[in-house]
Amino acid sequence: MGLTFPSPLGLAAGFDKNALRPRALAALGFGHLELGTVTARAQLANPRPNLFRLPADHALINRLGFPNQGAEIVAHRLLERRDRIGVPIGVSIGKTRAVTADVLDAVIADYVMSFDAVRPVADFVVVNVSSPNTVGLRAMQARDHAFALLKALRSRDPSARLLVKIAPDLDEAQLEELLGVVSETEIAGVVATNTTLSRAPLRTPDRRVAAIGAGGLSGPPLRARALSVVRRVRARLGPAPVVIGVGGVERAEHALALIRAGANLVQMYTGLVYEGPGAPGRVARGLLRAVDSARVSSIGELVGADRADSVIDPS
């Protein structure tokens, strides 16, 4: 995307929704931050309880639903701090809950408001159409809806680095259609993946999982599906578009697997919760060792390599 990343590991959206602590988060060792998700209008979280730990699985289930102070306020805060962060900044934008999902023009206008607010302060913008926690949002992944939305955003600023975040729960036909839209609209790339509605396989007892109820699952249970989707995205889109791999990254070998599957960059969220604030630095150092052991000059040379012959120190 014409950006320099000190490390391929970034922080996924959802952790710092209001851009309150980007400088501190960057200082942990992340190579980029994706802030938000923000919406055109400020909104509260879905009713509590809305966030749950599954320690046996190192996983989370959340149904927060894009709580944030609104795109304009977050953009203004980011503008004041932007020069002191030191790593590329992405901002995720989503649909305001109050906007009816079945009125496409209203949904597009809502996204456009957020996009216009954040694009002057963001190095890249991620269009979140895949959260399971906003009613009707995932319908925006359908071909006609996605094409209309991404085309409208591209027309606002053709030079903007625009990516779309996709769900891990799409079937092959749905994924193929959406990736076709990515190619046709010539956006910068894809973030793969969001949280999943699947609940298998889990170590947490079924009764506990059932009691939690609805929400998106993140962490190691998502890892295999994220790898599969990243591999499919890269095969379909070719070498040029950016692919950001997300799902189950806790250690360097997890990040490296996504990179070999075709990801240029990777992100973590749940891994930070369970592995602690030292995790970004440990992952980055592990990736440096992987580059050395593979005898290549940069991590970029491993993108899409998809081979299992390199040894990596998991410490």
DSSP state of 105: H
DSSP 228-291: HHHHHHHHHH-SSSEEEEESS--SHHHHHHHHHHT-SEEEESHHHHHH-TTHHHHHHHHHHHHH
Helix (H) or strand (E) holding 10: strand 9-11
Q: Yes or no: say if 65 and 45 are a contact pair by the CB < 8 Å rule.
A: yes
Rounded distance, CA 166 to CA 214, Å?
Answer: 19
The residue assigned the tokens 């379909």 is 236
Alpha-carbon distance 314 to 282, whole Å?
Answer: 9
| For residue 221, cis peptide bond before it (omega within 30 degrees of 0) | no
Q: What is the CA radius of gyration of the chain?
A: 18
37 Cβ contact list (under 8 Å, min separation 6): 13, 14, 17, 66, 68, 92, 93, 94, 128, 131
Do 145 and 199 form a contact (C-beta atoms < 8 A)?
no
Q: What is the dihedral of CA 207, 209, 213, 214, to 10 degrees?
A: -160
Count Cα neighbours of 68 within 13 Å in the Cβ-side half-sphere.
32
**What are the residue numbers of the active site?**
131
Pairing of strands 216-218, 59-62: antiparallel
How crowded is the C-beta side of 210, counted as CA atoms within 13 Å?
Answer: 3
